[in-house]
Amino acid sequence: MQTIRQLDLLRTGIAELRAEGARIALVPTMGALHAGHMALIEAAKRPGTRVVASIFVNPKQFGPDEDLARYPRKEQADSRMLAAAGCDLLWMPPVEVMYPEGFATNISVSGVSDGLDGAARPGHFDGVATVVAKLLNQVRPDIAWFGEKDFQQLAVIRRMVADLDFGIEIAGIPTQREDDGLALSSRNVYLDEDERARAVALPRALGVAARAIGKGGDAETALAAARASLAAAGFELDYLTLVDAGTLAEGGDPARPRRLLAAARMGSTRLIDNVAVDPIEQG
């Protein structure tokens, strides 16, 4: 696996892969890789496709009081994992290559970015959209892969790519989970043993509520029960919301796919998760 940190070398590296007639798949990450990222690499590996992963801890998507400084950085271990997984090229630009002096552009995707994490973390999705647009322009892949764990992020990226005519396929894979159901996340390392044990309440509460709503149960009652069980486990809730799976509009239409999205703090660690709510057959 080639590791590249400069834009001109990236262009050469990508041109070489293209010269073989390969399709290019991009897996953008912020490093601190875990099995969830490896599932993205696996999904991206298809016959005739070369896989490019990027590692860039994007300062523009962290708020001033967020965990940019302590965000886990594990360059060497990440690089070994990617090479072992069959990644062909690792794009790891330094911050001054991504945002050279004078950088002044901001991409803002209104609507899907506004509520939920967008409301809780002002500017976060502008930072995500801006860096993903840059990564897509730098690598120019045919397809880019993202996890459904960051469900709102995926919706923001899909909207941006459609609106700006990138002509790149955006593919999502289901959230990867620990055996007890906790969604894999680079931030799980912040949890101490006791917090880790209690954190499982998040996927459990979401699962119970999603099943109840999918069977036609009253959504408000199901959400209230989920809020109570999260509080009992020691979570401080940012939001727990039922939305349309496509537009993220609150409530959604019971006949269409919906999603239950949550963000909650366990101690100083903010976790997010989401689950699908089955459409209810209208009769």
Q: Kindly list the catalytic residues.
A: 37
Question: In the complex, what is the shortest distance from the CB of residue 31 to ligand PAF, in angstroms, rounded to a whole number?
Answer: 8
Q: How far is the CB of 131 from ligand PAF (least distance, A)?
A: 5
* Type and span of the H or E element at 16: helix 7-19
Number of CB atoms found within 10 A of residue 31's CB: 21
- CA–CA separation, 114 and 125 (whole Å): 9
28/72 with CB nearer ligand PAF: 28
One-letter amino acid for residue 11 of the chain: R
Q: Which is nearer to ligand PAF, 125 or 235 (CB)?
A: 125
Q: Which of 58, 79, 188, 274 lies at the binding interface for ligand PAF (CB under 6 A)?
A: 58
Verify binding: residue 150, ligand PAF, rule CB under 6 A: yes
CB of residue 256 to ligand PAF, shortest distance in Å: 26
Rounded Cα distance, 88 and 171, in Å: 19
Helices (H) and strands (E) in the chain, counts: 10, 9
Which residues pair with residue 243 across a beta bridge? 250, 259
For the record, the structure tokens of 202 come out as: 């998040």
Residue by residue, what is the 3-state secondary structure of 27-72? Answer: EEECCCCCHHHHHHHHHHCCCCEEEEEEECCCHHHCCCCCCCCCCC
Residue 131 in contact with ligand PAF, rule: CB under 6 A: yes
241 binds ligand PAF (CB under 6 A): no
Shortest distance in whole angstroms from residue 180 CB to ligand PAF: 23
- 45 in a known ligand binding site: no
The answer to whether residue 152 forms part of the interface with ligand PAF (CB under 6 A) is no
Could you give phi then psi for residue 231, rounded to 5 degrees?
-65, -40
Site for ligand PAF in 161-220 (CB under 6 A): none
32 is annotated as contributing to ligand binding: yes
Phi and psi at 242, nearest 5°, equal: -95, 125
- For ligand PAF, give the closer residue by CB, 25 or 223: 25
Q: Kindly tell me which residue out of 33, 40, 132, 136 binds ligand PAF, with binding defined by CB under 6 A.
A: 132
The smaller minimum CB distance to ligand PAF, of residues 205 and 263, is found at 263
Which among 40, 53, 57 is positioned nearest to 13, based on CA atoms?
A: 53
123 is in an annotated binding site: no
* 153 in a labelled binding site: yes
Residues 13-42 that bind ligand PAF (CB under 6 A): 28-30
Let me know: does 134 contact 107? Beta carbons within 8 Å. no
List all residues 6 or more positions away from 65 whose beta carbon is below 8 Å from its beta carbon: none
184 is in an annotated binding site: yes
38 vs 222, beta carbon nearer ligand PAF: 38
- Taking the complex as a whole, how short is the minimal distance between the CB of residue 58 and ligand PAF, in angstroms? 4
The footprint of ligand PAF on residues 71-130 (CB under 6 A) is: 128
HSE of 115 in the Cβ direction (CA atoms, 13 Å)?
17
DSSP-based three-state secondary structure for 97 = helix
Q: Which residues are annotated as a binding site?
A: 30-37, 61, 147-150, 153, 184-187
Binding site as annotated, residues for ATP:
30-37, 147-150, 184-187
Using CB under 6 A, list all residues that contact ligand PAF: 28-30, 58, 61, 128, 131-132, 150, 153
